[in-house]
Structure 1
């Protein structure tokens, strides 16, 4: 997840002077688009071309552990899927990775048009070195809900009434869990970069060991894939598209939309930047609420609970 300000923080140039490969060198700085909470800069010197990501301290409230992110970014880079890690400033929210030249950033339509290539890169990431931590979307959702209540932030109307339905979904998904693999867990389209040879995956803030079905379902949720496109992504990843795998990925997509709703409402409550986090959250919530009310939801629960 990724425009907050740097008020009271070092300027970007002051940050760059703390980075060994950039300090004291003439440099060309280009702010990069994208990112809802972080600031990203492409910085070029005579000998280096890197992306510097500067994160506000508030991301710690959102279940981001920078040490875990650093470890997992190194692991992802070792697979050739993630960007090479150049530097990391502990405790300062600064990560430096190699710029990937001539790479095209995906949008939702590009994800839909490249499902086989996306699945291949995700499988490669999942087969790589272990990540440092566990990612559990239901535990994160409960943590976010506590933050909302502790800070008296505005909760979307009807959100609490759906908690029992979400609990039933959690129980169904726990019946036959998949083995955990190193997952990105936040694969919105902008985190896919196509360098012409392969689809690369960047930004490992929410990475951690998780079920591959969550990764597939979350991709579908973020890219607004159709039911048929989700089935095609499942087939491309697993090599088959049986009803159990499709149902599992579908439920994980619903779970991610329901949980990430609170990511946005917390940002809205914090007054982070000038992005409309509330509208972003309501899009997630509306899709989760619609899915919960769909007549096919019960069948999804039954299929996942019975499938092996």
Structure 2
């Protein structure tokens, strides 16, 4: 069946879209979803069609549904319209606005709205499930080894350093908050007054500084912009908080690189997952071997 016919057949099984005239456009992005913008006389929707091996990547679709609803309740996410696990899709409201790119964060006003969006999410209802990149990294690494997938050269040599980061972050750990955990630029939607956050596949309660650190590395923020993000989120760029965010960037890079290693071997999508993962590992390796690594470990545990 042609793809267009498959999409039409799926939409015909979703009650809110049945029997209605509609226009359908595929939204860009979405390596583990196909995202469809569906326009009807009654309103605009996004149908997130699940694809890929959710279990292999540690995606819990029921938790994604719950947490998407919690984010909407927090006033930072799109409303949930309906959830169809039997059809492999989630229907949410369409958010009108501009999807950010990495360059967007150079605008102080955009950066301030992004920090505000994170604060609103983190102050919202608790999420279903927790997210700990240290546990996830161990699971991903076991998957890579058990299945014989290619591991980046030199990856295992940084395990001791990674555990040192874990111990350092535990010293001043704070209560976890509901986090998206995957805030690349395309998951920020800016309507000019506020920013909305989308895509809760990897959501779970986590350290707020992981959210900021992951955003910093995914959006390629430079050092000054990271400091500005920390200041915008916390109110002041305290040294131990800056160090915590930078170490969580490192945790993000080292852990998510294995997502790329798994996808490079397991996914049928025409995407260079190997380079995607290699880029993140190279970033992590650069920090592990930098003189500033020891300084960050010291600063994160000290009072300012």
Q: Do Structure 1 and Structure 2 share a fold, with TM-score over 0.5?
A: yes
Q: CA deviation at 1:271?
A: 3.4
Give yes or no for contact 1:176–1:307 (8 Å, CA) kept in 2.
Answer: no
CA distances 1:168-191 after superposition (whole Å, capped 9, x unpaired):
111111111021111111000000
* Residues 233, 7 of structure 1: alpha-carbon distance in 2 compared, 3 angstrom cutoff: farther
Q: CA deviation at 1:226?
A: 1.0
Q: Does 1:22 align with 2:8?
A: no
Partner of 1:70: 65
Q: CA deviation at 1:92?
A: 3.8
Partner of 1:287: 283
* Residues 215, 7 of structure 1: alpha-carbon distance in 2 compared, 3 angstrom cutoff: farther
Match of 1:87, SS?
A: strand
Partner of 1:162: 158
Q: Does 1:209 align with 2:205?
A: yes
Count, aligned residues: 301
Q: CA deviation at 1:7?
A: 11
Q: 1:99 aligns with which of 94, 101, 104?
A: 94
Instruction: Give me the whole-angstrom Cα distance separating, in 2, the residues matched to 1:58 and 1:154.
Output: 18
Give yes or no for contact 1:112–1:223 (8 Å, CA) kept in 2.
Answer: no
What TM-score comes out, normalization by structure 2 length? 0.95
Map 1:102-113 onto structure 2 (within 5 A).
103-113=97-107
Unaligned runs of 5+ in 2: none
Give yes or no for contact 2:32–2:52 (8 Å, CA) kept in 1.
Answer: no
Q: Does 1:46 align with 2:41?
A: yes
Give yes or no for contact 1:185–1:206 (8 Å, CA) kept in 2.
Answer: yes
What TM-score comes out, normalization by structure 1 length? 0.94
Instruction: Give me the whole-angstrom Cα distance separating, in 2, the residues matched to 1:53 and 1:275.
Output: 19
Instruction: Give me the whole-angstrom Cα distance separating, in 1, the residues matched to 2:170 and 2:179.
Output: 18
Q: Does 1:233 align with 2:238?
A: no
Unaligned runs of 5+ in 1: 1-5
* Residues 188, 150 of structure 1: alpha-carbon distance in 2 compared, 3 angstrom cutoff: same
- RMSD, matched Cα: 1.7
Instruction: Give me the whole-angstrom Cα distance separating, in 2, the residues matched to 1:296 and 1:208.
Output: 30
Partner of 2:30: 35
